[in-house]
Amino acid sequence: DVKVTQSSRYLVKRTGEKVFLECVQDMDHENMFWYRQDPGLGLRLIYFSYDVKMKEKGDIPEGYSVSREKKERFSLILESASTNQTSMYLCASRRSGANVLTFGAGSRLTVL
């Protein structure tokens, strides 16, 4: 069964900490995405990547960065976590040219 795996389901961090959220897919997909999900706001795109070492800003990139050193792995980085980054983070991937996203189960981050 094809999968997108997010390594941490639940994280609790303190304000100012550097946070890494990891996402790995086993489908050899070229495109990967990071969204955050908040009640009443739905899903908002943070960053996406067309391919290895490529990245593009989404709608809300402020306070985040990403890394795509290998095709299967797309990391979301919070350089200095803040309380307003408490959220559910969803990773997704897609084969280039396809229009269906496959999502991971999500990482729920709480910043105290």
Q: Which of these ranges, 11-19, 60-68, 79-87, 99-107, lies near another protein under the rule CB under 8 A?
A: 99-107
* Closest CB to another protein among residues 58, 63: 58
Q: Does 62 contact another protein by CB under 8 A?
A: no
Q: Does 85 contact another protein by CB under 8 A?
A: no
* Closest CB to another protein among residues 20, 50: 50
Give the C-alpha separation, 50 to 99, whole Å: 13
**Token pair 């996203």 is at which residue?**
101
Q: Does 93 contact another protein by CB under 8 A?
A: no
How would DSSP label each residue in 32-74?
EEEEEEETTTEEEEEEEESSTT--EE-S--TT-EEEEEETTEE
CB 65 within 8 A of CB 58: no
Paired tokens of 25: 């897919």
What are the residues binding another protein (CB under 8 A)? 4, 31, 33, 35, 40-43, 45, 48, 50, 56, 58, 90, 92, 94, 99-101, 103-106
